[in-house]
Amino acid sequence: FAVQDQKQVTAALPFVHFPSGIHIQDGQRYLNTSAVACMKPSSRVPEHFGDGFPWLAGFLGNLFADDAQLPYFLSWWKHFYENALTGKPRTGHAIFIAGAPGVGKTFLSTCLVSRTVGGHADASDYLMGKEDYTSHIITKPIMSVDDTSPAGDHKRHAHYSAMIKKITANRHQSFSEKFKTSGQVEWLGRVVVTCNLDPESVRLLPNVEMSILDKIMLFRCGAQKTEFTDDDEIAATISEELPNLCAYLVNMEIPKQCVGDSRFGVASYHDKILFSEAQQTSASYSFWELLVDFLGSYKTYDDAQSESKGCWRGTATKLIADMTLDERIGGLAARYTTNAAATLLGQLKARGFAINKVRSATKREWVIPFSILEEETHAETEDRPAAP
């Protein structure tokens, strides 16, 4: 009777990095079954970066394409590790690390960061919408995606981007196990995606036109490869140096330029080259290419008129109708619905293109000046945090 009256819990579920025992969520009592533990930092107080971990410092120092990226990455790692270590996990950015094969992207994700916070699980199928059960993923602090097959079409890619946004923005995730009880758990781990730089692999970068930029960080690796000549020797070196690196993370002060808001703790970082690559894989970029071809032909017609308008103006329906009349691109333009065209025009406007929306009581028109043909293809939104 004492057990029933005093020890009743709603369910037994894993709450990664939270203290063991009873966990209160939404006013209900849960038994935390998670056994995940962070690596304990050494008692050493490193005086500088690399003190007590020279090999790891050399690896990290040579990994990224420029010196500006490492402080942001270490700040992200500190925010993740230190809060998890104290049993008070906090939300943080999903990170994307892109580079040539052999530079150490996977090693960083699965052998270094993963070991310090208690492990990782392959979440490729889950993020791509190919898997529903999450029990093997939510029990780990890192959802990893490593050079997997990217989403093959814009619809799947939009789903993938939306999943990353949802996981990063929400404290609660669905825990589901086959033939067992499902529930919502507080999961404040991280999504870590590593990929190559070839055109196919970079499709693992998310859709940067969603309201996702403040929730992700884009890092680009340099060209220098890491040679792992002796696995046993490397393993011994990591075991010796990693606790000292953990001590450095605990004691380091986040640089001023890397300090973020109270929600994520660290400012977002977006490598400009990767940001441009991510834009080019988006649906709006494909539509922009089609729109440029159409405007070029329409401008020639407009210039021939006695009173040139200097722009195209009309509804999204009229735009699709006019584009389908163009013999060169008509077949491609016919694939777009009116709603899709309106959405893509709005995304291009948000990216900084001089596309204006004019509303009246009966309709919504778009005004696209021909001067847009001279604008940079990769115009950035004004409020996008720029890479330093």
Residue-wise DSSP of 141-205? SEEEEESPPPPSSHHHHHHHHHHHHHHHH-SEEEE--TTS--EEEE---EEEEEE-SSTTGGGGS
pLDDT at 354 over 70: yes
Residue 201 has pLDDT above 90, yes or no: no
Higher local confidence (pLDDT), 132 or 375: 132
d(CA 203, CA 183): 32
pLDDT of residue 284: 81
- pLDDT surpassing 80 at residue 210: no
Of 19-23, 230-234, 343-347, give the range with the top mean pLDDT: 19-23
Does residue 119 register a pLDDT over 60? yes
Given a cut of 80, is residue 377 above it in pLDDT? no
State how far the Cα of 79 lies from the Cα of 267, in Å rounded to an integer: 11
Instruction: Quote the percentage of the chain above a pLDDT of 70.
Output: 94
Highest mean pLDDT among 26-35, 79-88, 144-153, 271-280 belongs to 79-88
Task: Name which residue leads in pLDDT, 383 or 110.
Answer: 110
**26-40, 201-215, 355-369: lowest mean pLDDT where?**
201-215
Confidence of residue 152 (pLDDT cuts 50, 70, 90): low
- Inter-helix orientation angle 283-304/316-324, to 10°: 70
Residue 155 clears pLDDT 90, i.e. is over it? no
Lowest-confidence region among 70-84, 130-144, 241-255, 351-365: 351-365
Q: DSSP for 327-341? A: TTTHHHHTT--HHHH
Most trustworthy range by pLDDT among 83-92, 294-303, 326-335, 336-345: 83-92
User: If you average pLDDT over residues 16-21, what whole number do you get?
Assistant: 96
C-alpha triplet 111, 114, 115: angle, nearest 5°? 75
Task: Return the residue matching tokens 């049993």.
Answer: 87
Residue 108 burial (C-beta neighbours within 10 Å; 0-12, 13-18, 19+): buried
- CA-based nearest residue to 142, from 204, 59, 80, 50: 80
Per cent of the chain over pLDDT 90 is 62
Region 9-29: what's the mean pLDDT? 93
Average pLDDT rounded to a whole number, residues 144-154: 75
pLDDT value of position 6: 80
Distances (CA, A) of 338 to 2, 64, 315: 64, 43, 9
Helix (H) or strand (E) holding 31: strand 28-32
Q: How far apart are CA 238 and CA 114, in angstroms?
A: 13
* Cα–Cα distance, 189 to 81 (Å, whole number): 10
* 89 residue type, one letter: P
Name residue 287's amino acid. F
Q: Is the pLDDT of residue 109 over 50?
A: yes
- The values of phi and psi at residue 260, to 5°, are -110, -165
For 263-272, letters b (16+ CB in 10 Å) and e give ebbbbbbbbe
Mean pLDDT in residue range 313-326:
93
Amino acid letter, residue 29: R
Listed range (148-152, 190-194, 310-314, 316-320) with the worst mean pLDDT: 148-152
The mean pLDDT value of the chain amounts to 89
